[in-house]
Structure 1
């Protein structure tokens, strides 16, 4: 019996789709279908219910998931125990689930350094506004803004980071001076789409003033930043992002200031795989250095 068949089985079980499983495995959906059929024939059971909506596990399929995951864990542990650690031997893909703001402004620097140091390494940064399931292997490790409360994961605090309310000088110059929180209601708020905020740690606006509501919203922190730079309004922006834009000004910095934390989260099975361990260590250390000693000019405040 071929272990690869179980890899295909787990990919379909986790994604619910032949095409999505194929994308994860780097093959077409016909290959995935063929491998699933081969495994069903070898075991003499039906593993999935097929429907237009996708693939769902049968009772036998649900029972097989745990066994297949133990096989997967053993394979990963073997890789971690016997893989080399030299410049030439460190190779293969490492998928990182990371918030898009820190991905673009900080993590990409560490990823570049890793690629230059280890030419055979493949860094895949998934910078989407969502939580990543390490149990479903959506990422090899994740950088999170909230500490996971459960799961077979190893967690470490990376660093704290600060956020303030920012507006463009040109926008603020065209509006009455903001002296207190109630004055914010004269400004256009920019923020996340309220019902699509994937992590409560990102829900800043209600903490500022109940009467201050965003009227321009996006799921993307980069869209929010561009809107602020274009003079569309004011938004909560990471300090490490704002420092690169001299036209931005902090608004009521004493009254409106947030501190959040980045966490590194790695599945226990993958923590000692050499390429993943090296990437985690180097990215974490780079983030700590950048967030501790942020470059750039002092940001003006009003």
Structure 2
């Protein structure tokens, strides 16, 4: 009997997810299905692949070795399925899924959707607001926009137009003080957390000795904006985004903030598909307009 690739994918999922239930969720099947497939695989290979404990399951050393050897095969099978899907349709009519941060989805891509339709796109798009890194190989998304360049030979990454940042405050917070006279070390600062990775501006804040002035951290650009508008403090925000609010005042800085460097990421197998090419071009134009 030949080895079922599904069984190998289940084994890889257990290794990556850490638990049987998490692996089953990632694979979109019942826990009992994954358990049965692993038992079948163990019987075929004649080795124990998982250590079944009262607190769950873990891969044995044999299981880890088999999972590592099976990974290239799993990747090749994914490529075959993607190619077959595109060939059978002639052109993609299923949604193109784009994973990006909340700010990119709500304030860069969503306002530019009309330009996508005008470009001749005849397919829907799913804009997935996610801070976590998604698996393009596993088809969690078709394209992703991230603030840190990814690694991996199967991924194509293109740098997008930089996002300029600044500090902004509401008139009520300044209470008549001149922005030029503000010393950020003595103010209440509202900044990003590390939801998107270690961003360059966070290192800049530490180098400037501003860490003690930080009173709020969040991964939400919208949260930073509304907090600043309420007069809660001086917020670190994308400059174009803050300017569009029309209610915040820019605070001059003693030394320039680093720019945010976004990357457009797509799996190499999908890059040349017509719909994906249209979306790539649209994303580039949306960032160029910032």
Shorter-normalised TM range: 0.7 to 0.9
1:273 aligned onto 2:270: yes
Greater Cα offset, 97-106 or 211-220: 211-220
1:105, 1:240 within 8 Å by CA — same for their partners in 2?
no
Alignment of 1:6-155 (within 5 A): 6-51=8-53, 54-84=56-86, 90=92, 96-108=98-110, 117-119=122-124, 123=126, 125-128=128-131, 130-132=132-134, 141-148=143-150, 152-155=154-157
Q: Distance in 2 between matches of 1:94 and 1:14?
A: 25
Q: Distance in 2 between matches of 1:51 and 1:95?
A: 38
Q: How far has the Cα of 1:245 moved from its partner?
A: 0.9
Q: Distance in 2 between matches of 1:95 and 1:60?
A: 36
Runs of 4 or more above 6 Å deviation: 85-88, 135-138
Structure 2, unmatched stretches of 5+, are none
Q: How far has the Cα of 1:58 moved from its partner?
A: 1.4
Give TM-score, length-normalised by structure 1. Answer: 0.76
1:87, 1:118 within 8 Å by CA — same for their partners in 2?
no
Q: Distance in 2 between matches of 1:169 and 1:90?
A: 50
Q: How far has the Cα of 1:146 moved from its partner?
A: 2.4
For 1:297, the equivalent position in structure 2 comes to none
Secondary structure in structure 1 of the residue aligned to 2:268: coil
- State how many pairs are aligned: 283
Q: Distance in 1 between matches of 2:283 and 2:90?
A: 25
For 1:288, the equivalent position in structure 2 comes to 284
For 1:298, the equivalent position in structure 2 comes to none
Q: How far has the Cα of 1:64 moved from its partner?
A: 1.4
1:17, 1:54 within 8 Å by CA — same for their partners in 2?
yes
Secondary structure in structure 2 of the residue aligned to 1:176: coil
Greater Cα offset, 94-103 or 214-223: 94-103
For 1:200, the equivalent position in structure 2 comes to 199
Q: How far has the Cα of 1:54 moved from its partner?
A: 4.7
What is the alpha-carbon root mean square deviation over aligned residues?
3.5
Over residues 153-210 of structure 1, what are the superposed CA-to-partner deviations in whole Å (9 max), with x where a residue is unaligned?
A: 32221221211111123322x15323256x223421111347x772232414225554
For 2:190, the equivalent position in structure 1 comes to 190
Q: How far has the Cα of 1:235 moved from its partner?
A: 1.4
Give TM-score, length-normalised by structure 2. Answer: 0.79
Over residues 252-283 of structure 1, what are the superposed CA-to-partner deviations in whole Å (9 max), with x where a residue is unaligned?
A: 168544322111234xxx42237x95565344
Q: Distance in 1 between matches of 2:88 and 2:128?
A: 23
2:160, 2:287 within 8 Å by CA — same for their partners in 1?
no
